[in-house]
Amino acid sequence: MFDVLIIGGGVSGCCIARELSKRTWKVGLLEAEPDICEGTSKANSGIAHAGFDAKPGTLMAKLNVRGNALLEELAPKLDIPLKRNGALVLCFEEEGLPKLQELYDRGVINGVKNLKLLSGKEARELEPSISPEVKGALYAGDSGIVCPFGLTIAMAENAAENGVEFFRGYRVTGVEQGDNGIYRVSCDNGLVLETKVVINAAGVYSDRIHNMLPEKEGHMTMEIHPRKGEYCLYDKQAGNLVQHTIFQLPGAYGKGTLVTPTVHGNLLIGPTAEDVPEKNAVATTRAGVDKLLLNASRSVDKLPPTKQVITSFAGLRAHHADHDFIIEESAGYPGFIDVAGIESPGLTSAPAIGEYVAELVQEILPAALKENFKEVRKGIVTLEGKTLEEKKTIVSENPAYANIICRCESISEGEILAAIHRPVGATTLDGVKRRVRAGMGRCQGGFCSPKVVEILARELGIPVEEVRKSGEASVIIYGGVK
- The footprint of other proteins (CB under 8 A) covers 233, 237, 280, 282-286, 288-289, 306-313, 388, 391-392, 395-396, 399-400, 402-404, 407-408, 410, 429, 442-447, 449-450, 454, 464-465, 468-482
List all residues 6 or more positions away from 37 whose beta carbon is below 8 Å from its beta carbon: 9, 10, 11, 14, 148, 149, 152, 153, 156, 434
Residues 6+ apart with CB under 8 A from 149: 37, 41, 42, 434, 435
In whole angstroms, the minimum distance from the beta carbon of 233 to other proteins comes to: 7
Q: Residue 119 CA to chain centroid, in angstroms?
A: 33
Q: In this complex, which beta carbon is closest to other proteins, that of residue 132 or of residue 305?
A: 305
Q: How far out from the chain centre does Cα 264 lie?
A: 15
Least distance from other proteins to the Cβ atom of residue 297, Å: 15
Nearer to other proteins, 184 or 407 (CB): 407
Shortest reach from residue 25's CB to other proteins, in Å: 35
List, in order, residues 6 or more apart from 152 with CB less than 8 Å away.
9, 10, 11, 14, 36, 37, 41
Rounded distance between C-alpha atoms, residue 105 and residue 110, angstroms: 9
Phi-psi region of 350 (alpha: psi -120 to 50; beta: other; left: phi over 0): alpha
Task: Kindly state the smallest distance separating residue 268's Cβ from other proteins, in Å.
Answer: 12
The alpha carbon torsion through 212, 216, 217, 219 (nearest 10 deg) reads 10
CB of 240 to other proteins, least distance (A): 13
Residue 280 amino acid letter: N
| Cα 302 from Cα 3, distance rounded (Å) | 55
Of 13 and 414, which has the nearer Cβ to other proteins? 414
- Cβ contact 218:330 at 8 Å: yes
Q: Residue 313 CB, nearest distance to other proteins (Å)?
A: 6
Nearest to other proteins of 285, 297 (CB atom): 285
| Residues 201, 125: Cα–Cα separation, whole Å | 43
**Of the listed 49, 225, 244, 264, which one is catalytic?**
49
CB atoms within 10 A of CB 340: 26
DSSP 8-class letter at 2: E
Burial tier of 165 (Cβ tally within 10 Å: 0-12, 13-18, 19+): middle
Of 127 and 230, which CB lies nearer to other proteins in the complex structure?
Answer: 230
Pick the closest to residue 200 from 415, 19, 357 (CA basis). 357
User: In angstroms, what is the minimal distance from the CB of 289 to other proteins?
Assistant: 6
Q: Which is nearer to other proteins, 184 or 442 (CB)?
A: 442
Give the residue with the Cβ less far from other proteins, 189 or 280. 280
CB count, 10 Å around CB of 94?
9
Residue among 362 and 396 whose Cβ is closer to other proteins:
396
- Catalytic status, residue 219: no
**Residue number with CB closer to other proteins (287 or 331):** 287
Residue 360, CA atoms < 13 Å, CB-side half-sphere: 22
Element (H, E) at 387: none
**What b/e sequence results for 215-247 when a residue is b if at least 16 CB atoms lie within 10 Å of its CB, and e otherwise?**
eeeebeebebbbbbbbbbbbbbebbebbebbbb
Helices (H), 80-211: 97-110, 120-126, 148-161, 206-210
The CB-of-477 to other proteins minimum distance in angstroms stands at: 5
**β-bridge mates for residue 82, sequence order:** 146
What pairs with residue 251 in β-bridges? 254
Closest CB 293 distance from other proteins, rounded Å: 9
- For the annotated catalytic residues, the residue numbers are 49
